[in-house]
Amino acid sequence: MPPLIGAGFLGIQHFTPPWDVFFLPLFNLLIVSYRVIFSDFALAIIVFTVVIRTLLAPLFVRQIQSQKEMQRMAPLIREVNRKHKGNRTKIAEETQALYREHGVNPAAGCVPVLLQLPLLFALYQALIRASNVVTLSAKDAASSTFTALQAALPGIVKIQDVKDAAGAVTQIQYSAPVAGPCNLPQFEISNFTHFLPLNCQLIDPLKLAHPINTVSSWLINPISGQHLNLAQVDHTFAFILPGLGFALSALAVLAALLQFVQVRMTSPKPNPDDPTSSTTNTMTYLFPLLTIWWGGLFPSGLILYWVVYTSYLIVQQFRIMGWGNLFPLFGWQPGFVPAPETGLVDRSARRELATASNPGRVPPPSANPRPGGTQGNPNRPVSRPNKRKRRGRKR
């Protein structure tokens, strides 16, 4: 297949480099999942997520393996920090030497993290565009630019007014058309970009005749009977906080719990001697809280993507590193979870490290002591304690 070089390729009539080089394949893949596979937008997001995760699996496997190796190297790194305490240059040199010796690249986990951000942003844009619902401020809706856009693009339909607490109209929601002209000058203005018809960025086999149905047929609240709209903030499985109007989404809470498990599995054990340990521990709890906050701001389809994405990553991590450092969890250590690996240092070296860090401490005896001072040497003859020979009475 020839490369995508601009507008007109396979029916794509609107192409804006360099963003569309990344966005258009994802957007078309999402529509493929919707139209060809299930015609259900929730299932389309799930399939889309699994496909993307599978394609990027080699990168993430490398990231997980690097995190596992760095956990096993933690005792060696701590010893370097103890040995050269206060000498940052020497610590950096010795640490890099350890990384080279064990073939560990600390930056190996950065590429997958960097890839997540454009993926999330592209999916957010795809959800907004697929919903065909555009929200304008009252000022933009009354502008001459929007009046000219309405005249040039038939099919723009007003949905509702959004009012503030005083009853004044602050925003207006419109429905954008599926088809229409694709190169109007108003589409270059950020406030009116999302009025671009869907078909302008779809290849010919995926052209739509009707708007995408973003209401899930199977994600339904059994109490209220309301279906989840994936293009809007979750109000179906949410509790609206009184006085704030913030939607505490159950879907976002589930995503936060999964994210906590995923991060906890790969987080290093707390180390009071490491100044970065407290920061890492804080991030373990901060990111899930941010996910709950985002659940009240972003479309629920994006949160569904994050739920599936994190679940896939947890399974992938478990296959490579087991439970990692997930347990003990708030003091709970289930019996079916084996003890995590302690590192690359063997038992005798760990005793030496412990003695070096605590000079007044007596090292513990060997696990299998032998009498007569023959600890750890099974080939040495065992001396027996002297016993007085018992003399029998002559008869």
The whole-angstrom separation of Cα 291 and Cα 288 is 5
Are 19 and 4 in contact, with CB atoms under 8 Å apart?
A: no
Residue 228 pLDDT more than 90? yes
Q: What's the pLDDT score for residue 2? A: 36
Whether 388 shows a pLDDT value over 60: the answer reads: no
Confidence at residue 317, expressed as pLDDT on a 0 to 100 scale: 86
Q: How confident is the model at residue 380 (pLDDT cuts 50, 70, 90)?
A: very low
Average pLDDT of span 207-231: 91
Tens digit of pLDDT for each residue in 87-131?
A: 888 888 888 888 788 777 766 556 666 677 777 788 778 877 888
Please, which pLDDT band fits residue 269 given cuts at 50, 70 and 90?
low
Tokens of 330: 């708030």
pLDDT over 90 for what percent of the chain? 30
What percentage of the chain's residues is helix, strand, coil (to nearest 5)? 50, 10, 40
Where is pLDDT greater, at 144 or 81? Answer: 144
- Would the pLDDT of 4 be above 60? no
Separation CA 175–CA 160 (nearest Å): 10
Q: How confident is the model at residue 196 (pLDDT cuts 50, 70, 90)?
A: very high
Give mean pLDDT, residues 365-372: 46
Q: In sequence order, which residues have a C-beta less than 8 Å from that of residue 51 and are 6 or more positions away?
A: 29, 33
Confidence category of residue 238, pLDDT binned at 50, 70, 90: very high
Q: What are phi and psi of 160, to 5 degrees?
A: -165, 160
> Is pLDDT at 172 greater than 90 in this prediction?
yes
DSSP state of 332: B
pLDDT: which is higher, 237 or 56 = 237
pLDDT for the residue 395: 46
Long-range CB contacts for residues 160-168, cutoff 8 Å, separation at least 24: 162/135
Hey, what are 127's tokens? 């959800």
> For residue range 294-351, what is the model confidence (pLDDT) as tens digits?
998 888 998 999 999 999 989 988 888 787 777 767 777 777 676 655 444 444 444 4
In a 13 Å sphere around the CA of 178, the CA atoms on its Cβ side amount to 9
- How far is 295 from 249, CA to CA, in rounded Å? 6
Query: Can you give the C-alpha Rg of the chain in angstroms?
Result: 31
In angstroms, the first-to-last Cα distance of the chain is 112
Q: For the residues 245-258, what does the mean pLDDT come to? A: 91
pLDDT: is 161 or 378 the higher one?
161
Phi and psi torsions of 212, nearest 5°: -75, 135
Cα 154 to the chain's mean position, in Å?
Answer: 41
Provide the pLDDT confidence category of residue 270 given band limits of 50, 70 and 90. low
Partnered with residue 37 across adjacent β-strands are none
**Residue 107 to residues 29, 62, 66, 159, 316, Cα–Cα distance (Å):** 30, 11, 9, 48, 20
Rounded Cα distance, 343 and 13, in Å: 56
Per this entry, what is the length of the chain? Answer: 395
Cβ atoms of 295 and 249 closer than 8 Å: yes
pLDDT at 304: 94
In the predicted model, what is the mean pLDDT of residues 251-262? Answer: 93
* Residue 180, token pair as written in the block: 């229409």
Q: What values do phi and psi take at 266, rounded to 5?
A: -105, 0
Average pLDDT in the chain: 78
Q: What's phi and psi for 239, nearest 5 deg?
A: -110, 120
**Mean pLDDT of the 207-216 span:** 90
- Residue 274, pLDDT above cutoff 60: no
Question: 273: phi > 0 → left, psi -120 to 50 → alpha, else beta; which?
Answer: alpha
Amino acid at residue number 228: L
Q: What is the pLDDT of residue 374?
A: 44
Q: Which residue has the tokens 């393996």?
A: 65
* 228 neighbors 216 (Cβ within 8 angstroms): yes
Backbone angles phi, psi at 85, to 5 degrees: -60, 130
Quote the CA–CA distance of 118 and 121 in Å, as a whole number.
5
Per-residue pLDDT at 367: 44
Please give the pLDDT value at position 345.
44
Predicted local confidence at residue 356, as pLDDT: 44
pLDDT of 371 strictly over 80? no
Strand pairing class (157-163; 169-175): antiparallel
**pLDDT for residue 255:** 95
pLDDT on residue 50: 92
Q: How confident is the model at residue 64 (pLDDT cuts 50, 70, 90)?
A: confident
Q: In which band, very low, low, confident or very high, does the pLDDT at 271 lie, cut at 50, 70 and 90?
A: low
Alpha carbon separation from 307 to 199, 205, 252 (Å, rounded): 29, 30, 8
Rounded-to-integer distance, Cα 23 and Cα 324, Å:
35
pLDDT: is 38 or 6 the higher one? 38
Contact at 8 Å (CB) between 316 and 56?
no
